[in-house]
Amino acid sequence: MMARVMPRLEKAGLVVSTSGISGGYRLAKAPQDITVLDVIDAIDGRKSVFDCKDVRKNCALFGGNAPAWITNGVCGVHAVMLRAEKSMRNEMSRTTLQDLAIGFSTLAPADFGDNVGRWLDDRATNRELARISAVKDSSRNRRRGSDD
C-alpha cells in the first residue's frame, strides 16, 4: 500500500524522498502547512465521494422512457450529497497534520513520543544489522562458490 501512496504524496509536493540505505521520506512542508484535504487529494485525486447513477432516467415506473419533468435539474439526493461533500472538503481543508498530531498528543501518555523514538531507532538498528549480516552471508557464499 505504501508503495502506491508515497509516490503520490511526493508528486503532490507533500513529502520528499531520499534514496539509499538510510533513505526514506520526510515532509516537504511544515505539518501546519499540509491539510488533510491535501493528503486525500494527493492519494485519491479530486474524485467525488458520491457517484450519481441518475436513477431517475431509468426508473421502472417510466419503462426506461422518463419524462423531462422528472429528469430536469439536479436530483434532490445528488444535491444533498454535493452539499455534504462540500462541507466535508471544507472541514478537511481546515484541519492540518499539526492539528491531528496535537489532538493525538493530548490523548497519548507523556512517554509515548519517547517510546516511538526508541522503536524507530531500534528498527533502524535492526535493519542495518540485518543488512550487514546479509552482505556477510553473500560474501561467504561467493567465496565458497569460487572454492569449488
* pLDDT single digits (tens) 81-125: 889 999 999 999 999 999 998 887 788 888 888 888 888 888 888
Classify 13 in phi/psi space as left (phi over 0), alpha (psi -120 to 50) or beta.
left
What is the bridge-based pairing of β-strands 24-27 and 15-18?
A: antiparallel
pTM beyond 0.75: no
Q: Which residues are CB-neighbours of 34 under 8 A, at least 6 positions away?
A: 14, 27, 96, 97
pLDDT at 25 over 60: yes
Question: Would you say 6 and 15 are in contact if contact means Cβ atoms under 8 Å apart?
Answer: yes
Please give the grid coordinates belonging to residue 100. Answer: 491531528
List, for residues 35-54, the tens digit of each pLDDT value. Answer: 999 999 999 988 887 777 77
pLDDT at 148 over 60: no
**What type of residue is 34?**
I
What is the SS3 assignment for 64? coil
